Amino acid sequence: MNNLCADIGYRSLHKFGEELCGDHIEIIENELDGSTIIVLADGLGSGVKANILSTMTAKIISTMMAQGLDIKDCVETIAATLPVCGVRGVAYSTFTIIRLHHNETADIIQYDNPPVIFFRNGKNYDYPMTELIIGGKKILSSHVDIQKDDVLIAMTDGCVHAGVGALYNFGWKREDIIEYMEILCDVGFTAKNLNTVLLDECFALYGGKPGDDTSACTVRIRSREPMNLVLGPPANRDDCDKMMSLFFSKEGKHIVCGGTTSTIAARYLNKPLIPTLEFPDPEVPPIAKIEGVELVTEGVITINKVLSYAKNYLADNSEYRTWGYGRDGASLIAKLLFEEATDINFYVGCAVNPAHQNPALPINFNIKMNLVQELSQCLQKMGKRIKVSYF
């Protein structure tokens, strides 16, 4: 099996004045055949009805395809299932399907959404399309081999309508989007950050008041990158060497968090622990340095900040400029975990820190465990493979 994985980022903008988004994105990791199924659906109109249409469409298609059913069966089921709009007399939701097979090939199936944009080697790639008629609907089908650094962007028509009647006569055309994103696709941005840039520009072109539900889902094919983070000393002091031996034997970069933990790591490596006195962010303790370790930081306060960034990353990613350009410990950890890592191993020491037993401090043993658990869950939602080991 190859060493590639799919980095997936997506986001939606509600139509101005609507509480619900009429677009829906569904992602399923199918363990049966090792495929990943991504469905982006755009319900007719906006508001509650569109939300129901798009959600049903994405759920039905992704579930049926995960069970191995043909696209013909999926489309016919959608046509027979969706409720008919009493006003328009029709019932449909446009959709885009991207099915990745072991991150080696991709099936791209499209119905009435703007065609998926495909970048290869940093340039627009015109992939082949075959036209199919299923249930009276014109479906575009493609099968392509994929390779490292390929970027695919699926979007609803809210993207190409951005700026219509204002900055542009006919909206932000697909060719304009290609030109805008082409510059960014070859510089190593994550799928989430690429997607954020695209949706932020759509929001700006709409003048902050989107005239249509606007959604995009970006897929970037990349190599797997392991990352290792140790936090806290082990409950049994005699397990220090065992813990560090397992930690440093793992492939990938190493992050050491916590004052006592960094002392143990320095002693294990027989290298000096060199503190720094720089405070790039006054809310985050300064970092330190140990030869052979990529990053050494303070523990609970820093990880709590990383968790805050992770929650924002999964929402609208508005704090990207803060941690993306920050030099404090939390920002540096965020960049390593969110942008570089695909497989993350946590080594968590269960020793109780005497410094945290002061009742005036909002820190205790349970908070540290909860931080690790919450951060792990956030990282899993980002598509990372997580393993947590306790000592």
For 284-295, write each residue's pLDDT tens digit: 999 999 999 999
Question: What is the distance between the alpha carbons of residues 61 and 84, in angstroms, rounded to a whole number?
Answer: 18
Structure tokens at 228: 């290792």
Maximum CA extent, the chain: 75
Q: DSSP characters for 187-203? A: TT--HHHHHHHHHHHHH
Average pLDDT for 54-61: 93
| DSSP H or E segment with residue 269 | helix 259-269
Structural domain range at position 373: 226-390
pLDDT at 362 over 70: no
Structure tokens at 307: 């968790």
pTM: 0.88
Task: Look at 236 and 171; give whichever has higher pLDDT.
Answer: 236
Residues 195 and 238 reside in one and the same domain: no
The number of residues in the chain equals 391
Residues 206 and 243 reside in one and the same domain: no
DSSP state of 286: P
Task: Look at 49 and 150; give whichever has higher pLDDT.
Answer: 150
Residues of the chain above pLDDT 70, percent: 92
Residues 243 and 351 reside in one and the same domain: yes
DSSP state of 284: S
Average pLDDT for 156-169: 78
For 198-207, write each residue's pLDDT tens digit: 999 999 999 9
**175, 207, 223 — which closes off a domain?**
223
Averaged pLDDT score across all residues of the chain: 90
**206, 223, 240 — which closes off a domain?**
223
Residues 186 and 238 reside in one and the same domain: no
Number of Cα atoms under 13 Å in the Cβ half of residue 266: 18
Task: Give, in order, the Cα–Cα distances in Å from 154 to each of 11, 266, 387.
Answer: 11, 47, 31
pLDDT-derived band at 33 (thresholds 50, 70, 90) equals: confident
**175, 195, 223 — which closes off a domain?**
223
Residue 76: the pLDDT is 83
Residues 213 and 251 reside in one and the same domain: no
Structure tokens at 49: 């009805």
356 by DSSP, 3-state: which?
helix
> Nearest Cα to 209, choosing from 257, 166, 261, 265?
166
For 98-109, write each residue's pLDDT tens digit: 999 989 999 999
Partners of 381 in the β-ladder: none
Question: What is the distance between the alpha carbons of residues 371 and 367, in angstroms, rounded to a whole number?
Answer: 6
> Comparing 23-27, 86-90, 144-148, which segment has the lowest mean pLDDT?
86-90
Cα radius of gyration rounded to whole Å, the chain: 24
Average pLDDT for 333-359: 84
pLDDT-derived band at 185 (thresholds 50, 70, 90) equals: confident
Residues 163 and 258 reside in one and the same domain: no
Residues 232 and 207 reside in one and the same domain: no
Task: Give, in order, the Cα–Cα distances in Å from 111 to each of 98, 167, 210, 221, 273.
Answer: 12, 28, 23, 24, 59
Residues 286 and 172 reside in one and the same domain: no
Residues 139 and 280 reside in one and the same domain: no
Question: What is the distance between the alpha carbons of residues 205 and 348, in angstroms, rounded to a whole number?
Answer: 46
Domain total in the chain:
2
Residues 33 and 137 reside in one and the same domain: yes
Question: What is the distance between the alpha carbons of residues 294 and 385, in angstroms, rounded to a whole number?
Answer: 20
Residue 23 near residue 41, CB atoms below 8 Å = yes
> CA quadruple 25, 29, 32, 33: dihedral positive or negative?
positive
pLDDT at 187 over 90: no
Q: What contacts 81, CB < 8 A, 6 or more positions away?
A: 56, 60
Task: Look at 342 and 89; give whichever has higher pLDDT.
Answer: 342
Residue 342 near residue 224, CB atoms below 8 Å = yes
Residues 94 and 11 reside in one and the same domain: yes
Residue 3: the pLDDT is 87
Question: What is the distance between the alpha carbons of residues 59 and 46, in angstroms, rounded to a whole number?
Answer: 18
Residue 63 is part of a domain; what is its CATH number? 3.60.40.10
pLDDT-derived band at 118 (thresholds 50, 70, 90) equals: very high
